[in-house]
Structure 1
Amino acid sequence: MTLNIETPALLFSATSLILLAYTNRFLTIAQIVRGLKKTYDEKENKSILLEIKNLNLRLTLIRYMQLFGVLSLFLSVFAMLVLFIDMQIIGIYFFGASLLCLLISLGISFWEISISVTALRVHLSDLLDSKKE
C-alpha cells in the first residue's frame, strides 16, 4: 500500500474550516455565558445557573473538539513529513491517526450539537407551555 504526500494535504482545508467553526461556536457561547453570569449576579435565578452549567459543559466539549482537530492537522503534517523522507509505513500510520483524531473531533461535535438541541427544546417547551395557559 502506498500513500502519496498529497493525500494528507487534503485534510488541510477541511480541518481549517472545521477549526474556524469550532472557534466561532466557542466565542458565541463564551459571550452568552458572560451575559448570563451578569444576569445571575443580579437575580440569582436557579434556572440561569443550570443554563450556565450546560453551557460550561458545551465549552469543555468544544475545547476537546478543537484539541482533536488540531491534533489531526498536526498528525497530517507529520505524515507528510515522514512521507517526504520516504518512510511509507510510518506515514500511513500517522495519516491513519490523523483521520482517527478528526473522527473523534467530529463525534464530540455531534455530542455538543445534541446538547444544544436538547437545551433549545427545553426553552421551546417552556414557551409552548406558557401559551397553553
Structure 2
Amino acid sequence: MDITITTPALLFPAISVLFLAYSNRFLAIASRIREQHNLFNKTQSPVAKKQIDSLRLRIRFIVAMQVLGVVGIICCTLAMGLIFYGLQYYGNMTFGFSMVFIVLSLLASISELLLSTKALNIELEDMEAHSS
C-alpha cells in the first residue's frame, strides 16, 4: 500500500494536542514535587516519602512520553520528505515507525496515569486513617 504525503501530515494536529497534554502533566507534576518537598521538609511524613518514590517514577514516564512523541514526530516528518522525493517504500516504513513511537508514547501516558491514580489513593488512605 502506498501512502500519500498528506497521510503523515494528518498526524500533526493530533500531535500538537498530545504535547499540550504532556506539557500540562509535566507542569502539574513539577508543582506537586515542590509541594511534597516543602511538606517533607516540615513533617518528615512517611506518606510524603511514599509519594517521593511515586513522583520519581512518574517523571520518568513523562520524559519517556515526550521523547517517544518527539521521535514519532521526527519520523513522521522524515516520512513526508521521503514520500516527497519519491522514495515511497522508505516513506511507508518510516511512517510505520512514527506510528509505533506515537503508540509507545501513548502507552507510557497510560502507565503514568495509573501511577498517578495510585499516588492519589495513597493520599486518600492517609486522609481516611486520620479521620477515624
When normalised by structure 2's length, the TM-score is: 0.93
Q: Does 1:120 align with 2:126?
A: no
Q: Which residue of 1 aligns with 2:23?
A: 23
1:30-84 CA-to-partner distances (Å, cap 9, x unmatched) read 1110121122122222221220221111011000000001111110000000000
2:47–2:122 Cα contact (<8 Å) kept: no
Point out 4+ residue stretches in structure 1 off by more than 6 angstroms.
Answer: none
How far apart, CA to CA, are the structure 2 residues paired with 1:71 and 1:103?
11
* 3-state SS in 1 of match to 2:86: coil
* Partner residue in 2 for 1:75: 75
Q: Given the superposition, is the C-alpha separation of residues 38 and 127 from structure 1 closer, same or farther in structure 2, using an over 3 Å criterion?
A: closer
Cα distance in 1 for partners of 2:55, 2:96 equals: 32
Map of 2:95 onto structure 1: 95
Which blocks of at least 5 consecutive residues in structure 1 are unaligned? none
| Aligned residue pairs, count | 132
Q: Against the structure 1 CA distance between its residues 116 and 19, is the aligned structure 2 distance closer, same or farther, given a 3 Å change threshold?
A: same
CA RMSD between the two structures: 1.3
